[in-house]
A and B are shown apart, each in its own frame.
Chain A
Amino acid sequence: MLTIDNLHVSYGGIKALRGINLKIDDGKIVTLIGSNGAGKSSTLRSIMNLVKKEEGSIKYDGEDLTNLPTKDIVKKGIALSPEGRRIFSNLSVEENLILGAYTINNKQKITEQMNKMYDLFPRLKERHWQKAGTLSGGEQQMLAVARALMIRPKVLMLDEPSLGLAPLLVKDIFDIIKEINRQGNTILLVEQNAKKALEIADYGYVLETGSIVLEGEGQILLEDDRVKEAYLGDAK
């Protein structure tokens, strides 16, 4: 179980997170929704220790991650596919995947996992030799997800994986997220597409200007009037 306790984050004096608490149970899909600038990415980046925390703690399976260097958090089996893909455009698709497995030393395991990724994303297999920067936006997104999956993370965090994708691809990505979850991985999903996210989520949190204002099971949040109004675009 991943727990966030009273997390505060500021950027140059401006508060981005104001004491949030989160619990992510093993094997679940948990989603974090909220409008632009609510603090969703900041939350994920805090878990990976990419931003300085003002206050609060983060634990995984009872172990304290709060001040662990990012690379050691990765070694605990937590992976983030960051907002905006951030693939290595100067490296080939295959090299991107190999780097995803940087913390794994067993070559055979890496090859196995890479083949799994190629099964999951046949497009990447066709283009394994190609410079990642020359992939289409959607393909780059697949690569970002596949790269994060290379360590077979116990917890996979995805920051807006469907951003900028055609509807058909969005559906593919969500199917893949469900599939990955079925294989036992815990998923923390940040999405602009709140409806789709809540539909597949076991549990959801709603973030507004740095605070969690609502939480509950995915299905229940979907029916919530406040959520409907603010995030699902349903006029009353």
Chain B
Amino acid sequence: MSIQEFLQHLANGTSLGSLYALLAIGYTLVYGILRLINFAHGEIFMLGAYIAYYGLTLTSLPWFVVFVLASVFTGIIGVTLERLAYKPLRNSPKITNLISAIGASFLFQNLAIMLFSGRPKAFPSPDVLTGVIYIGGVSVNIISLIIPVVTVVLLIILNTVIKKTKTGMAMRALSKDYEAASLMGIDINLVISFTFFIGSFLAAVGGIMWGIKYPQLIPIMGVMPGLKCFIAAVIGGIGNITGAVLGGFILGLGEIMLIAFLPTLTGYRDAFAFVLLIIILLIKPTGLLGEKTAEKV
């Protein structure tokens, strides 16, 4: 393999890893606070892409305005999902919530088939984002460069919110002790909603950029990425944001490099995540950056 080819794969792997990271954060944030695997998160990602699609085709708004609005709107869908499907079950056994999440996932998929039709739609990417540029003999899709940049910027913002703001502190407090958090005067419901908003917003940004990179939308497009990013979150140590990002990049880069170096294994591309999951959990059951946490009381 030439160095140019390698760099190309590296760019591809990095941008896929970024997309995985954006999606994995949603799993880890929600798990950290509710101890719930939000199985409908992949569908949130799918909805983000479709909403942007309709924003671009039905309105004449500038594309970046459409993307921001679509992400915000998807964030609101995430908040609504929590209010309707999880909040009423907050004091129920965890398995009940999990079943509700799986139900929500199927509901979204089928709603999407009904509303958007099952036939693939071509994502109408704005021209400026679809070009190819050459850097030192390496040809790279512009979007493959934009994706990591957008991701890093969003990660920095997220990190600041969680580390420095009062709401971020409240999120961290809630992940430890609901009751003590409410004794501080924290509005638990508001913080949970905020968490779902952030997770769903990031998933939508990921879904939209996914649509530009792989410009074909189908209602089940969130299933595989959703599953892989759940795995990425577990690999990194679920509940740990840095871990989710790390897991996302490991999966994305690993997947692309696997195909690049061992093209005969291309058919096993999707299996890579699962194999990696098993290996890592055997070595470190809490994930790479996970800590042992006592079961929440």
Interface on A for B, CB 8 Å cutoff?
A: 48, 50, 70-71, 74-75, 79-80, 82, 86-91, 95, 98-100, 102-103, 147-148, 151
Contacts and interface: CB of A to CB of B under 8 A. Distances in A.
B187 to A, nearest CB: 5
Interface of B: 166, 169-170, 172-173, 175-177, 179-187
A73 to B, nearest CB: 9
Interface centre among A75, A79, A88 (most CB of B within 10 A): A88
B176 A79 contact: no
A65 B181 CA distance: 19
Contacts of B166: 98-99, 102
30 contacts: A48-B183, A50-B183, A71-B182, A71-B187, A74-B183, A74-B184, A74-B185, A80-B183, A82-B179, A86-B179, A88-B172, A88-B173, A88-B180, A88-B181, A90-B172, A90-B175, A91-B173, A95-B169, A95-B172, A98-B169, A99-B169, A99-B170, A99-B181, A99-B186, A100-B184, A102-B166, A102-B185, A102-B186, A147-B184, A148-B183
A80 B177 CA distance: 15
A106 to B, nearest CB: 13
A151 B186 CA distance: 13
A88 B182 CA distance: 12
Interface centre among B180, B181, B182, B187 (most CB of A within 10 A): B180
Interface centre among A79, A87, A99 (most CB of B within 10 A): A99
Contacts of A102: 166, 170, 184-186
Dominant secondary structure at the B interface: helix
Contacts of B180: 82, 86-88
Top 6 A-B pairs ranked by shortest CB distance? A74-B185, A103-B185, A86-B180, A70-B182, A102-B184, A71-B185
B173 A99 contact: yes
A60 to B, nearest CB: 15
Nearest to A48: B183
Interface centre among B181, B185, B187 (most CB of A within 10 A): B185
Interface centre among B166, B175, B183, B187 (most CB of A within 10 A): B183
Nearest to B177: A86
A147 B180 CA distance: 11
Contacts of B169: 91, 95, 98-99
Nearest to A70: B182
Contact of B176 (A70, A71, A88, A151): A88
A117 to B, nearest CB: 15
Nearest to B187: A71
A232 B170 CA distance: 41
Contacts of B181: 88, 99
Given A88-B172, A90-B172, A99 B184 contact: yes
A99 B169 CA distance: 7
A50 B184 contact: no
B185 A151 contact: yes
Nearest to A92: B169
Nearest to B293: A90
Given A86-B179, A86-B180, A88-B180, A71 B173 contact: no
Contacts of B173: 88, 91, 99
